Chain A
Amino acid sequence: MSVDGRRISGRLLREMIVIFAVACALGAAINLLHPRGFILVNRSTVEERSIVPISVDEARIKRDAGSAVFVDARDRAEYGFSRIPGAVSVPLLDLDRPTDGAPDLSFLDRPVEVVIYCESAACGAARDLAVRIRERGYERALYIMEKGFTEWESKGFPVERGE
Chain B
Amino acid sequence: MGGESGIRRAMVSMLYGNWFTTAVRLMLGGMMLFAGLVKLADPSLFGMAVERYELLPAILVPYAATIIPALECLIGISLVAGFRVRASAASAFVLMVLFIVAVSVNLALGRQIDCGCFQPAVTGLGFSETLGPWTLVRNLLFLAGFALIFRADRHLLSIENAIEKTRLKNLEKSKYE
Contacts and interface: CB of A to CB of B under 8 A. Distances in A.
Interface in B23-73: 40, 42-45, 47, 58-59, 62-63, 65-71, 73
A40 B64 CA distance: 11
Given A23-B70, A27-B70, A43 B43 contact: no
Chain B facing A: main interface SS? helix
Contacts of A52: none
Interface string B65-103: 111111101110010000010111011001000000000
A19 B78 contact: yes
A53 B137 CA distance: 50
Interface string A18-36: 1110111011101100101
Contacts of B44: 36-38
A38 B47 contact: yes
Contacts of B78: 19
Interface string A30-57: 1100101111100100100000000000
Nearest to B74: A23
Residue of A26, A27, A37, A46 most packed against chain B (CB within 10 A): A27
Contact of A19 (B62, B66, B69, B88): B88
Contacts of B87: 12, 15-16, 18-19
Contacts of B42: 36
A37 B66 contact: yes
Interface residues of B, number: 28
Contacts of B90: 12, 16
A38 B62 CA distance: 6
Contacts of B75: 19
A40 B74 contact: no
Nearest to B65: A38
B74 A46 contact: no
Nearest to A47: B59
Nearest to B78: A19
Contacts of B74: 19, 22-23, 26
Given A16-B91, A40-B62, A43-B59, A23 B43 contact: no
Nearest to A15: B87
B43 A24 contact: no
Contacts of B40: 30, 34
Nearest to A28: B66
A34 B78 CA distance: 23
A43 B59 CA distance: 7
A46 B59 CA distance: 8
A27 B71 contact: yes
A21 to B, nearest CB: 10
B67 A27 contact: yes
A43 B61 CA distance: 12
Contacts of A23: 67, 70-71, 73-74
28 contacts: A15-B84, A15-B86, A16-B87, A19-B88, A20-B91, A22-B74, A23-B73, A24-B67, A24-B70, A26-B73, A27-B66, A27-B67, A27-B69, A27-B70, A27-B71, A30-B40, A30-B66, A31-B43, A31-B62, A36-B42, A36-B43, A36-B45, A37-B43, A37-B66, A38-B43, A38-B47, A40-B62, A40-B63
